[in-house]
Structure 1
């Protein structure tokens, strides 16, 4: 039997097994099928028709009450019971929609608590399930469209998939030719306006799908709009990573009933941090390949052989730990498997992994102290999963040679297997376990080309089961590209910075030159100089950097020198220009490596591995760390492990600006805030890819790529590495374009010519010399498209050193004036949309709001800049101009207007009597904050009186807290407790929504002041 599924050109699906992911997708040529143009309505009708052909029931319901009526019928049908009206009302109140229920609670019911013990009126208790996870065919699938729901606004939704009456999947469509991002933005809007309104069943939605016919993506419910990010949408694909984007093909595969139910019930995860994650196709494919291999090997009794296992090659940053975690969990469900071991390196047993496994099985995780607890957990009959480090597993094997576990059916899954595939531990595992299935996950396999003649990943773990390499991940926008700069700081040392094969004597001399005092001094100076630009620090508002960085150095001696030099040079810097620097190391630098490019492992037992002088230095580093962060770490037995954990957490939380390392944190460390790697170290092959990949995790939109700044010439090593882990054309995909491409224009991945910065600026100045005078829909749309491109280009170019002194760059004032008009048009668009104005083309404009937010200024900056004006009226005009150029402060224009009105005489006196600008600004800022404090109090009290809220003190605290947090709390009882009138009042929900809206206005006006 062929183990493959295909969509053929005849558009039939051939099913040969029960894998969720299609084996191979053959793209259908639709150019002659008259489908180049489809309206949104036609797209919707075709989608529904195809779903019906796939066995979905079309349901004609369009209101929330009808949705509840159908839900009752479906739950009764699923459970073969019948509710009385009173029982149904009680079931809703107790379980389905209990008072003050949250979206998270509802996700928890679908993912983990889908069965409820319900007591009927006759005192019988039955298990009522809302979804059947044991027999997927037992679930009933329905499709509805154009259902209407009211919250802050009245919305009409496109297409919804009901599973047993619950809206678990929702689809928003845009006609062909429009951006699929508009469909995403519409879902974000619906989330805030109606999806999550009181008693809404759409709180149960687990997965969203967006499509414009040509491009279709899916993503999990993000619960609140702060987590809404288009970058996290997912392409559906086959097992070979071919994207299935056309809506018709997506429907035939993803919406096959068995597939979508598997994604909902097996491959969607509610994390310990209460985030809903849906797995990507390659993650599902890898998981199923492993499970399939285990079953096949068990049936063939081929356990403990290399062919019984295999490895997964998923590039760094693609979510291997989530995939291996889910695989381990699902392997425990195989009835013939006794234990599943999830094996990690001790440094990778991070808090997030621990939380996830403890959530699944409280005592599944065991750390590093001794093997007694590990032995105890292994012997527990009800524990099918064991999470441990390879070091402790090896100790257990050596001290329990005849343990019964070695004769049991065991699955061993190694996370980041490139670090654990060699050596004593692996050999001991294979000798001891008699019925094992061994699997490894790696982003950088060991091949014969970089194995130094030792074992390869395949020889240790078995054949490659599934791959998803870096070029796939960059194509899918799951990780970022790299921008590499080779910087020779001091020309004298350039010959030594080039990679050279030489004898030991020359190598020693070369390494001495590379840590010469003058070279370290100049590189440190350069890093401090470019750090704000590389890590995106808005110096206008004196904020900390948006991102942080690692400096990778060759040796412990180099780490010491750099650390001390950063301390020395920062003594002379202003406080707001200083960065927080620390370092960590432990291993012996000359440890033999078993693979070319391997970054030597560093043990956490510091005293065993470093010299006394290095240990003394590390003690001083820890003391500096304690002084900076008000902590009390030391280098006692467990102290270094605790210090390591603290460094890890503070780097992830952006509390450390620059971390100096020799080998630690260059492999397996995942921190999306890191965007820059400074390299003064020899790197090659998998070590180079691993180190570079610390920077390419997706984070905020103002992180367009990972910055690599090399102080050694690694160009040849880089080319060799990407050929090994990609292909001949990988460089075009992996590396960012050069500076001039973004200035002069370039072709995108679809072959479309994108105007560069210079062309965009010239067109803006030609067509819109006075942006404030723009009028007319056609001109506004042209202007918006130009500013969108300018913002995208500027977001990339500000990471290029050459851009700082580029003569064709817009001045700050020009950019502010353009942004002011941009924000004004957006606000008008939002107003017209809320008023239901019919402007079809205009309503589909995509605004780059996230990019605007990444360039925010604040009121302190506005006061400081505008104070240089000669008169009060001039200052007011300048302040208004600056306020209008920022998406956040623009909402505070009325406060500035009123402040100048109320304090005009006082400010005029200041202008006449004071020549000291600092004092003048300070006094005006005091006027403003005194005014805002009083105005805010008045506005809160006015809202309380107008809405007749109960308990005025509690109401005041609640509203003030919403303003401080920047968010109106929808969950909880606070609003309900403040509303006058009984809980059964007919207009209570409407009243609650009015109060939400009014509080949100105050949040928009006062938050951040």
Structure 2
């Protein structure tokens, strides 16, 4: 391999322990290192100075001079369009980076803000401590300017401080000032956070599902060696050419307007393929196995994004006529279609008619053709002398271990004379799981890059698996251990599909569902879906799917509505069930009409039920069935479907981060097992700590065999979660080299040290309590997934736990205010908790919602004659829940203003409270409007903010409501900040009401 790639192997130099470094020292060192790497240091203190420098750099890049009027017009017309948000600015950097500007003398010139053809033309500067005002006055650590635009922002914390602090600070800046009017920081593409010891990067995006710390990424070299230290990171990631390549080549602004930055292994794989194409062309190896290779990137690591970017970059190679992106299934993935159609409107060929594919291939301005292997095979059969076969073409296979092992693939490579063939797979075929002599390497060539499941778990890109092997009924235990496919078919109906077993498994799933998917029992079913996860159920056959689906309907009819699940199923005809390798999950097509009448009749019923639930109109007609598949896929991803029963469909290639549990009553082996399990291990948030696998077959040996095949001899300890006993009693984690305290020890320790948590006063005690309780929350979140934990007698009483939660949140709020320079309490000294990561997301899983609190008020009012005792109990409950803490005064005022003895039912207290709260909301909005002398329709703006859950400071709407205020000495900004804070408090009180 060449060393010319941007991710060449990096060896960190030995250095002395510099753990003493302060934030300012880290900042100075970073700027000095960047200066030595060719960055121009520049002192910029204000937004005005930032704009002045920008004008100079845009002029330099384009060899022009703007008059002041021309510059103002350029800003208004293009660069700083009023009300443009972050998405519009990102689009300018990634796609619309050239603007046709007409100067005052009538001369038209293409003005570019970044040069993507020759990246050496771009000029890079570094500055620090720029001040900017929004709802708050903020000063930013280090900013990297490319042609005057702040495209990279670095947030630093002193060594020892938890890196989450830097991440959270960037989010605060995003709310307070980054996105304020005329802020050039809307152009930021990449954020970097570092405490010197650890460094991570992430994209600037508004996508809520990508805005968690879990989506930050570490930098690494081509061998997947992680580069964490800020000095090492600076020498590699911030090397000028590397940074410009990442910004100009390795970012993707997708069809959903989400900015994605490729991870190091994705960049490395892309570069290896591009290098292979170039070197093979130079050495005249096209059309042979030596001109290709395969990429082994584990399931869930973003192979489709990598292959998409590789295909796009391959079109830019001068010797390549066409790039074929070949998928192995008949349903072109909807998201993939959108991405390619955005890049090239007519690149995706979805028709069955190969004439359309032929036209697409023959278009001179079409460099990319997206199609299926089945259709490309038909094209080759019908067009044996086509001129395309004599041209240099790149063939990229999205999943190269399945239908490429057949005649179609051989026919295609036999026709193309100058092909460069590359495959992507998360589960290669090795000699161990091959049925014959063909392996991934024998068909595609050498492995060019690997990023295996152990790499991905180490980097936090996918989750571990927690695997349970449940024997529901002892009389079926032997049948559940059978592995031989022929033997299985003999006993399936008699034993595995026995009504008694089907009933027992169904009951277990219904009983365990809320626990496995983290659904809070205090919530309504709608709120449970919103805050919890959903699941899949993999079964052996269509007959099994039918029996389970029917049994779910029978058992759920006997349950209260809040416990009923939305269950859906999907399956179709499999034209050829013969496996290409051991463990293959047979590919199901989109031809329900080819199924036997019994299977089709049942599918008709299933789709009819689905139509009734979701007010849709799908059927088993081939085209409508494809639409059913797409709609079902979307509803699973949106958590509108609780449990999806599948036979083969959705077990490969389907990504839904909301899925956290897979129930399995199906024999799985090797790559089929890893693929099916991997439906559950996409990262989402802190609550989702692993993929839950619940097996009703004995798959323990099969699981270990699969893990050893696709990892290494130590992979089992890395990939599988620890046991219940270990989490309860503690263990030494070989991977992280850390001793993990057991749950029992944590509970006993915290109760012994803090029997009355509300009496904690000393700063040292607060810190110790916060550390201990955070560990307890993490341990509790994991143990909730174990069936055994449900029967474990609690060590901490409900009352103690409520107080602990309340105190934990108080300490966090105190620390936040202290860090922001605000006074707290009776001039309490600052508490330095910067090295503690507060587990607020985990606390939210046990949130008590308002309806539950109101019901509790009614119940407790019948127990307590003393209203003060009642109010104390209700305060304790409210304060233990983050979502309701702001509503404490409102709820207590309601209790003071209502005769609880006259309320007879839950409905009555709910109706009374919401009527009372609405009056209070209208009164407080009116008071705020009058006291602050707000103009315009301020009531509508505040109501809209309450509905959204936040006060929007972007745009001019909030400004337009302010009364006339002098701009001298920041008076208007101070007024805006004051109004914003008061509105935000109203939002916190009345959200959800």
TM-score interval w.r.t. the shorter chain?
A: over 0.9
Aligned with 1:259 (options 223, 235, 242):
242
Match of 1:783 in 2: 769
Q: Deviations over 1:607-653 (max 9, x none)?
A: 22x21111111111111111111111111231221222222111111
Are 1:819 and 2:789 an aligned pair?
A: no
Are 1:372 and 2:355 an aligned pair?
A: yes
Match of 1:767 in 2: 753
3-state SS of the aligned residue for 1:650?
Answer: helix
- Post-superposition shift, 1:843? 5.0
Q: Deviations over 1:727-784 (max 9, x none)?
A: 0000010011111222222334332223221122112111111111111211111111
| TM value normalised by structure 1 | 0.94
Match of 1:846 in 2: 837
Aligned with 1:516 (options 475, 498, 501):
498
Aligned with 1:965 (options 948, 967, 979):
948
Equivalence map 1:314-325=2 (5 Å): 314-325=297-308
Identify which range, 697-706 or 216-225, moves more after superposition.
Answer: 216-225
Match of 1:859 in 2: 850
Are 1:639 and 2:624 an aligned pair?
A: yes
Equivalence map 1:172-571=2 (5 Å): 172-223=155-206, 227-347=210-330, 349-501=332-484, 504=486, 508-509=490-491, 512-542=494-524, 543-545=527-529, 546-571=532-557
- Post-superposition shift, 1:306? 0.6
Q: Distance in 1 between matches of 2:22 and 2:247?
A: 30
3-state SS of the aligned residue for 2:985?
Answer: helix
- Post-superposition shift, 1:590? 7.8
3-state SS of the aligned residue for 1:712?
Answer: coil
Identify which range, 489-498 or 148-157, moves more after superposition.
Answer: 148-157
- Post-superposition shift, 1:814? 2.5
Q: Deviations over 1:554-611 (max 9, x none)?
A: 1111111111111111111111101111211123598211211111111111122x21
CA distance 1:373–1:939, change in 2 (3 Å): farther
The answer on whether the counterparts of 2:815 and 2:831 sit within 8 Å (CA) in structure 1 is no
- Post-superposition shift, 1:951? 3.4
Are 1:887 and 2:869 an aligned pair?
A: no
Match of 2:607 in 1: 622
Q: Distance in 2 between matches of 1:241 and 1:559?
A: 42
Q: Distance in 2 between matches of 1:464 and 1:773?
A: 62
Are 1:166 and 2:144 an aligned pair?
A: no
Aligned with 2:657 (options 636, 650, 672):
672
- Post-superposition shift, 1:948? 3.8
3-state SS of the aligned residue for 1:168?
Answer: strand
- Post-superposition shift, 1:829? 2.3
Point out where structure 2 has 5 or more consecutive residues left out of the alignment. 824-828
Match of 1:12 in 2: none
The answer on whether the counterparts of 1:191 and 1:224 sit within 8 Å (CA) in structure 2 is no
Q: Distance in 2 between matches of 1:344 and 1:54?
A: 43
- Post-superposition shift, 1:675? 0.8
Aligned with 1:876 (options 871, 877, 895):
871
- Post-superposition shift, 1:977? 4.9
Identify which range, 933-942 or 525-534, moves more after superposition.
Answer: 933-942
3-state SS of the aligned residue for 1:418?
Answer: coil
The answer on whether the counterparts of 1:673 and 1:699 sit within 8 Å (CA) in structure 2 is yes
CA distance 1:967–1:226, change in 2 (3 Å): farther
Aligned with 2:983 (options 999, 1004, 1008):
999
Q: Distance in 2 between matches of 1:590 and 1:555?
A: 15
CA distance 1:972–1:144, change in 2 (3 Å): closer
CA distance 1:154–1:224, change in 2 (3 Å): farther
The answer on whether the counterparts of 1:198 and 1:989 sit within 8 Å (CA) in structure 2 is no
3-state SS of the aligned residue for 1:544?
Answer: helix
Point out where structure 1 has 5 or more consecutive residues left out of the alignment. 5-16
Q: Distance in 1 between matches of 2:479 and 2:836?
A: 54
The answer on whether the counterparts of 1:368 and 1:389 sit within 8 Å (CA) in structure 2 is no
CA distance 1:590–1:136, change in 2 (3 Å): closer
The answer on whether the counterparts of 2:815 and 2:832 sit within 8 Å (CA) in structure 1 is no
- Post-superposition shift, 1:507? 5.4
CA distance 1:431–1:589, change in 2 (3 Å): closer
CA distance 1:398–1:825, change in 2 (3 Å): same
Q: Distance in 2 between matches of 1:956 and 1:764?
A: 47
Match of 1:932 in 2: 917
| TM value normalised by structure 2 | 0.95
3-state SS of the aligned residue for 2:817?
Answer: helix
Q: Deviations over 1:645-684 (max 9, x none)?
A: 2221111111111111111111111111111111111111
3-state SS of the aligned residue for 1:417?
Answer: coil
Equivalence map 1:130-145=2 (5 Å): 130-145=113-128
The answer on whether the counterparts of 2:858 and 2:909 sit within 8 Å (CA) in structure 1 is no
The answer on whether the counterparts of 2:535 and 2:644 sit within 8 Å (CA) in structure 1 is yes
- Post-superposition shift, 1:921? 3.6
3-state SS of the aligned residue for 2:115?
Answer: coil
CA distance 1:671–1:120, change in 2 (3 Å): same
Match of 2:891 in 1: 896
The answer on whether the counterparts of 2:197 and 2:229 sit within 8 Å (CA) in structure 1 is yes
Q: Distance in 1 between matches of 2:399 and 2:783?
A: 34
Q: Deviations over 1:493-515 (max 9, x none)?
A: 1111113559x568513553111
Match of 1:1008 in 2: 992
Q: Distance in 1 between matches of 2:272 and 2:740?
A: 41
3-state SS of the aligned residue for 1:117?
Answer: strand
Q: Distance in 2 between matches of 1:28 and 1:511?
A: 64
CA distance 1:812–1:377, change in 2 (3 Å): farther
